[in-house]
Amino acid sequence: MRVLAIDTATTALITGVVDTVTGQTTERVLEDTRAHNELLIPTITEVLAEAGMEYSDLDAVVTGVGPGPFTGLRVGMATASALADALSIPLHGICTHDAIAAAAELHVDPAAAADEATALVATDARRKEIYWATYRVTDSGVQRISGPAVTKPAELEVELTPTAEVIIPDRLAEQLPEKLAALPHRAAHPTAAALVAAADLEAEPVPVVPLYLRRPDAVPPKQKQLSAAIPRVEL
């Protein structure tokens, strides 16, 4: 099966094609870009060309559904939905943090109990907040324990094992509570292979729903107060 993977939930733009039979992956990762809308389709076209494929060769599409800021997230999801619809192929949605956890190659803690988290994944939510989720890593894969949710870094309260890892951008790590900031941390982003691996491609597709977790950053302008001297006219 040839699967197109897309994620625009973070500042990185992720696109790739994964052949689930051969394992061959062709991928583009554009770091720290806010131009998802302008770059996504051209980048997908480049990836397909490098893989020696056409759009018509695709069998499914997998897209990250966040959590992520409204503007960037909807670009990837709308594009994925439009392509899947135009090509009449299945569309699968994946929590972006699940894909980050899978891509980060987290270590297994054999001493961790079934309900104990061995990793924290956090991304920039803007407005001085982070999106976060915790995970337990086992020999069979990554299991989400809590989240995703949104909060200020300094107000994050989660229980992790003493040997837990924190996957977070460096500039945000120092804003975490002291106990979490003291844990080993590093940055990571989702990969095409991780997005596809996290998807159940044999399952019946269900409507993908974006994980915004809060209202859009843009707000409608406040209505100006009319002067009492100006009569209100109902049309």
**Residue 180 confidence (pLDDT):** 97
Domain boundaries, the chain: 2-97+190-198, 105-186
Count of alpha carbons within 13 angstroms of residue 157, beta-carbon side:
1
What string of pLDDT tens digits covers the 235 residues of the chain?
999 999 999 999 999 999 999 999 999 999 987 788 899 999 999 999 999 999 999 999 999 999 999 989 999 999 999 999 999 999 999 999 999 999 999 988 888 888 899 999 999 999 999 999 999 988 888 999 999 999 999 999 999 999 999 999 999 999 999 999 999 999 999 999 999 999 999 999 999 999 999 765 544 455 555 455 555 544 3
Distance between the two ends of the chain, CA-based, in angstroms? 58
Residue 87 exposed, middle or buried by CB count within 10 Å (0-12, 13-18, 19+)? middle
**Residue 53 confidence (pLDDT):** 97
Rounded Cα distance, 106 and 135, in Å: 10
Rounded Cα distance, 232 and 234, in Å: 7
Can you read off the two tokens belonging to residue 149? Answer: 């949710």
Rounded Cα distance, 59 and 70, in Å: 28
Do the first three CATH levels of 2-97+190-198 and 105-186 match, i.e. the same topology?
yes
CB atoms < 10 A from the CB of 45, how many?
A: 13
CATH class of segment(s) 105-186:
alpha beta
CATH of domain 2-97+190-198: 3.30.420.40
Token pair 């491609």 is found at 201
pTM of the model: 0.88
Q: Which of helix, strand or coil describes residue 174?
A: coil
